[in-house]
Chain A
Amino acid sequence: MSTWPLLSLLIWLPILGGFAVLAAGPRLSRPLALAISLLVLLVSVPLYLAYDAGATGAATMQFVESHVWIDAINASYALGADGISVALIVLTAFVTVLVIVGAWGSISHRPHQYLAAFLILEGFMIGVFCALDALLFYVFFEGMLIPMFLIIGLWGGPNRVYATLKFFLYTFLGSVLMLIGLVYLYLQAGTFDLATLAQTPLSLSAQSWLFFAFLIAFAVKVPMFPVHTWLPDAHVEAPTGGSVILAAIMLKIGGYGFLRFSLPITPDAGHEWAWLVIAMSLIAIVYISFVALVQKDMKKLIAYSSIAHMGFVTLGIFVAFALLRENGNENATYLGLSGAMVQMISHGFVSGAMFTCVGVLYDRMHSRMIVDYGGVANVMPWFAAFMVLFAMANTGLPGTSGFVGEFMVILATFQYNGWLAALAATTLILAAAYTLWLVKRVLYGEVANDNVAALTDINAREAFVLGSFAFAVLLFGVWPAPLTTLMDNSVAQIAQLLLHSKLP
């Protein structure tokens, strides 16, 4: 194993780099930001290569760094990555590069601040994915709010102030209750170390309170059905890069939080309340899909489809509880958890790509309304090819990455309850309906108006961004093995924690 503190490097390189970009000023900022983001991606490669996917048990957590941080409250600067973290870190580094390339031509207002905000955000997000200390996790988790608040508020659409305040306060309210839960846990266990917290015995009522504290925080982030209303607003108003990061990475932090906190720390309460989360997930999948169907704004439509797709993540995670504790079906449990993970990664690519597509159109027409478009394929054939591909991935067409995760989750759910699986499977029809209808109205038909007729096809920079997304979507669609082998043992390790009752 490498002796370099790779994870620290991955966290602090973009954060310090962000400040350097800020200092560099508008003109130098673009190449500098690109160089830093590429460097981060480069550093994440050895992380992937050096990760030993064959390790089992506690050894799945690798690259561990641990230093005393705040002695008085026994908090440590502890980092580590298992297969799940590695996958998400590489995704973060990859998407950030694309966002920075994407901003090259489309952001002209204070570009250095824009790029710096994204780099700092990247550091915080990577920090979230490898924190092994609950307090450190919380610091990174909350630290993301300020850069995102500025990104939406400074470079967003007309109603950006409302959207960004809503985003901030919603997330903040959700997470402060989790903070109380973490402090309570600390007082029980005397440490913020996640591995120790996972072993601390807790009564069912204490677990239930904690479970809901976590649920509120992460459900807002995912977002799950009743607390999702900030997302469409935030997405609609955010600049393209903000939407891409929000959908591709920040939503994943909610799902990741469930895996790292709810599952290991409150397994018994999780089992007790799994029905609630499963119900919320199914509502997200079915009801939100219908909501997506009637949207007039492209970004809103994709935002709602994100909520529906993230429903599969939470469904996969929580059906695992029911499967393992009630049926003892370990294989199906792994399938559900792995499916949730694959879905997270895949949705990162697909939603990022879809938002980039809308961004490409928006840069040209300054409208997100579906009615303003029509027949775009006639004037932008290359763009249309990409968008159709991503639309197919969004509907979960076999051969794209969107299919793999959903299929795994549906299979797992089927082994628990056929009816629930049937409900979940409606997404295959509903997602196809809203996505294809969007494609039909925007891309096909006669050229709708003069503005559309004047559109020019994507340039090399945009082609590079969309091409990179397309590569990933197809790669993991036809060959998801690298992803699943990377995460298999880590998922198994989490499932073991799940099985283990913590009642005193």
Chain B
Amino acid sequence: MIFAHADLNLILPELVLVTGTLALLLFDLFARQNGRWMTHILAILLLVLAAASVLAQGMGLTASGWSGVYERDVLSAVLKLAIYGVSALCLLYARPYLADRRLWSGEFYLLVLFSVTGMSILVSAGSLVTVYLGLELMALSTYALVALDRDNRKASEAAIKYFVLGALASGILLYGLSMLYGASGTLDLGEIALALGGSQPTEPLMAFGLAFIIVGIAFKLGAAPFHMWLPDVYEGSPTAVTTFIGSAPKLAAFGMAWRLLDTSLGGLSEQWGDMLALLALASLAVGNLAALVQTNLKRMLAYSTVSHVGFLLLGLLHGGANGYAAALFYAIVYALMSAGAFGMILWLAREGFEAEEIDDFKGLNQRSPWAAFIMLLLMASLAGIPPLVGFFGKLVVLQAVIESGRLWLAIAAVIFAVIGAYYYLRVIKVMYFDQSTDERLIPATDTGLRIGLSANGLAQLGLGLFAGPLLAWCVRAFL
């Protein structure tokens, strides 16, 4: 294979990430503990640089390279920017928490960066092999991240659970991919669609392949009934890691879902549309109802993730550009909200005080009105209350669902959204209406975290009031 210069330019962001990460690995090896600050800053800069390289390529660049295994299109550019941005925020939020718990090590940054590289490859995948390669790089790094606090039993248990179930999901997905290959005789996503052009979805190989792929995707996204790993892993992981695995990977999983379902299996959209409708409905029901009874904030947010995945699937199942744009918008908005919400726990957590129970937030408004206000914005946005951006995410998804003729699904979705509003309101209630009892409830003073989280919270308002540009890019991604 001859590597043309154009091919190298195509993978510029990944090149930057890989070389940068390897250099950082060496740097961190020689840096002392007090050089860790440099690792922290360099890791964030690396993500910024990767984002800049995406912009340098040009947002509108559409090309396929490396014999078709790598795709660069507007969708991959938008997703990469969002992934890098959200991951950088997660790194910013994680530092004080990790430092307090003697977990502040170079490995954290390296694993996050490798995982981000995996996501980056995944959203640019042009062939089944690239899909699997990217997915595994992303997933393996996150398994190790969950086990970062290796002496903590809960975290170790979560890591094992995550690893076993994640490997199972990867296996199922791989099985599905192999059937797809068997049915079409090619690995290229675009060619699969051509090869399958005339085949009937009732052919056993196709039907099974599709079902396995859907299950694999549902596992990775955390859609009910394949969500069982999610609450345990979210709760068990160190919160700094939960912040990361709860946000950016959802974007990558969305990219993977779209590449597999639309690019290669677009002809079967009627079949997978109905499958996704069931998954979406189950996720909305399970996620919202289970979140109602949680007392642990991390667990509550985990179940709320399941319900948001339901909304994301609602956008996806429309099977047209409008639906995909809505789902992409929702995924980006959700990743931001989720990073912010877990980031709030990091902001309040200190050594010996995890701040992960909902009651730990009691009376936050008395202690720190600003922190309470940011959390208010995040919770209201998650609940989908205008003018916050979470509302616009729900709006465009509902529009896609109604357009696809599934009015009943839209009605079910909004009713579950109202049920969901209750548990977000409960957090607001605890912060504002209850008296503070715990003296330890004082937000951390780390400047980076404070600025990052404040920006994250205010972005809920800003992106809501000016939802036009982001939505326009999401629409452009599927033109």
A165:B369 contact, CB within 8 angstroms: no
Chain B positions 456-472 with a Cβ under 8 Å from a chain A Cβ: 467-468, 471-472
CA distance A139 to B429 in the complex (A): 22
B421:A169 contact, CB within 8 angstroms: yes
CA distance A176 to B385 in the complex (A): 10
CA distance A488 to B372 in the complex (A): 47
A73:B386 contact, CB within 8 angstroms: no
Q: How far is the CB of B451 from chain A (nearest CB, A)?
A: 17
A73:B432 contact, CB within 8 angstroms: no
The 0/1 profile, CB within 8 Å of B marked 1, for residues 108-149 of chain A is 001001000000000000000000000100111011011001
CA distance A71 to B468 in the complex (A): 6
**Listed stretches B47-55, B255-263, B388-396; interface member:** B388-396
**Listed stretches A180-188, A314-322, A426-434; interface member:** A180-188
A176:B414 contact, CB within 8 angstroms: yes
Q: Which residues of chain A are within 8 angstroms of B415 by Cβ–Cβ distance?
A: 173, 176
**Listed stretches A41-49, A153-161, A479-487; interface member:** A153-161
Q: Which residues of chain B are within 8 angstroms of A150 by Cβ–Cβ distance?
A: 428, 432
B391:A139 contact, CB within 8 angstroms: yes
B468:A179 contact, CB within 8 angstroms: no
A179:B414 contact, CB within 8 angstroms: yes
Q: Which residues of chain B are within 8 angstroms of A145 by Cβ–Cβ distance?
A: 385
A180:B402 contact, CB within 8 angstroms: yes
For B468, give its contact among A22, A70, A149 (CB under 8 Å): A70
The verdict on B265 contacting chain A, using a C-beta distance below 8 Å, is no
The verdict on B181 contacting chain A, using a C-beta distance below 8 Å, is no
The verdict on A437 contacting chain B, using a C-beta distance below 8 Å, is no
The verdict on B403 contacting chain A, using a C-beta distance below 8 Å, is yes
Q: How far is the CB of B63 from chain A (nearest CB, A)?
A: 25
CA distance A69 to B466 in the complex (A): 7
CA distance A69 to B395 in the complex (A): 15
Chain B positions 347-402 with a Cβ under 8 Å from a chain A Cβ: 365, 369, 376, 380, 385-387, 391-392, 395-396, 398-399, 402
The verdict on B325 contacting chain A, using a C-beta distance below 8 Å, is yes
A180:B396 contact, CB within 8 angstroms: no
**B: interface residue count bin:** 35 or more
Q: How far is the CB of B457 from chain A (nearest CB, A)?
A: 14
Q: How far is the CB of B428 from chain A (nearest CB, A)?
A: 7
The verdict on A177 contacting chain B, using a C-beta distance below 8 Å, is yes
The verdict on A68 contacting chain B, using a C-beta distance below 8 Å, is yes
A70:B417 contact, CB within 8 angstroms: no
B414:A177 contact, CB within 8 angstroms: yes
For A146, give its contact among B380, B418, B475 (CB under 8 Å): B380
CA distance A179 to B396 in the complex (A): 11
The verdict on B61 contacting chain A, using a C-beta distance below 8 Å, is no
The verdict on A444 contacting chain B, using a C-beta distance below 8 Å, is no
Chain A positions 47-75 with a Cβ under 8 Å from a chain B Cβ: 68-73
Q: How far is the CB of A133 from chain B (nearest CB, A)?
A: 13
Q: Which residues of chain A are within 8 angstroms of B429 by Cβ–Cβ distance?
A: 153, 161, 164-165
A187:B403 contact, CB within 8 angstroms: yes
CA distance A219 to B215 in the complex (A): 43
Q: Which residues of chain A are within 8 angstroms of B467 by Cβ–Cβ distance?
A: 70
The verdict on B433 contacting chain A, using a C-beta distance below 8 Å, is yes
CA distance A187 to B425 in the complex (A): 31
A180:B385 contact, CB within 8 angstroms: no
The verdict on B422 contacting chain A, using a C-beta distance below 8 Å, is yes
B387:A143 contact, CB within 8 angstroms: yes
Q: Which residues of chain B are within 8 angstroms of A72 by Cβ–Cβ distance?
A: 325, 396, 468, 471-472, 474-475
CA distance A146 to B461 in the complex (A): 13
B399:A183 contact, CB within 8 angstroms: yes
A113:B414 contact, CB within 8 angstroms: no
Chain A positions 373-413 with a Cβ under 8 Å from a chain B Cβ: none
Contacts A72-B472, A177-B414 given; does A183 touch B395 at CB 8 Å = yes
The verdict on A168 contacting chain B, using a C-beta distance below 8 Å, is yes
The verdict on B410 contacting chain A, using a C-beta distance below 8 Å, is yes
CA distance A186 to B386 in the complex (A): 18
CA distance A69 to B465 in the complex (A): 9
CA distance A177 to B399 in the complex (A): 13
Q: Which residues of chain B are within 8 angstroms of A169 by Cβ–Cβ distance?
A: 418, 421-422, 425
Q: How far is the CB of B92 from chain A (nearest CB, A)?
A: 25
B428:A180 contact, CB within 8 angstroms: no
Closest to B422 in A: A169
Q: How far is the CB of A250 from chain B (nearest CB, A)?
A: 16
The verdict on B411 contacting chain A, using a C-beta distance below 8 Å, is yes
CA distance A396 to B152 in the complex (A): 72
Q: How far is the CB of A347 from chain B (nearest CB, A)?
A: 27
CA distance A154 to B414 in the complex (A): 28
Chain B positions 247-305 with a Cβ under 8 Å from a chain A Cβ: none
CA distance A72 to B328 in the complex (A): 14
B432:A153 contact, CB within 8 angstroms: yes
The 0/1 profile, CB within 8 Å of B marked 1, for residues 66-90 of chain A is 0011111100000000000000000
Chain B positions 419-443 with a Cβ under 8 Å from a chain A Cβ: 421-422, 425, 428-429, 432-433
B421:A172 contact, CB within 8 angstroms: yes
Q: Which residues of chain B are within 8 angstroms of A177 by Cβ–Cβ distance?
A: 411, 414
A73:B471 contact, CB within 8 angstroms: yes
CA distance A146 to B385 in the complex (A): 8
The 0/1 profile, CB within 8 Å of B marked 1, for residues 457-491 of chain A is 00000000000000000000000000000000000
A161:B414 contact, CB within 8 angstroms: no
Q: Which residues of chain A are within 8 angstroms of B403 by Cβ–Cβ distance?
A: 187
A180:B468 contact, CB within 8 angstroms: no
Q: How far is the CB of B236 from chain A (nearest CB, A)?
A: 31
Q: How far is the CB of B170 from chain A (nearest CB, A)?
A: 35
A/B interface sample: 14 pairs, CB < 8 A: A110-B365, A149-B425, A150-B432, A153-B433, A154-B433, A165-B425, A169-B422, A172-B421, A176-B414, A179-B395, A180-B414, A183-B398, A183-B399, A184-B407
Closest 6 CB pairs of A and B: A176-B414, A139-B386, A72-B471, A70-B468, A153-B433, A142-B386
- Which positions in B face A, CB cutoff 8 Å? 325, 365, 369, 376, 380, 385-387, 391-392, 395-396, 398-399, 402-403, 407, 410-411, 414-415, 417-418, 421-422, 425, 428-429, 432-433, 467-468, 471-472, 474-475
Kindly list 17 other residue pairs between chains A and B, CB separation below 8 angstroms, not including A72-B468, A180-B410, A187-B403. A69-B468, A70-B467, A72-B472, A73-B396, A73-B471, A135-B395, A138-B386, A139-B387, A139-B391, A146-B385, A150-B428, A153-B429, A176-B414, A177-B411, A179-B414, A180-B407, A183-B395
- Which positions in A face B, CB cutoff 8 Å? 22, 68-73, 110, 113, 135, 138-140, 142-143, 145-146, 149-150, 153-154, 160-161, 164-165, 168-169, 172-173, 176-177, 179-180, 183-184, 186-187
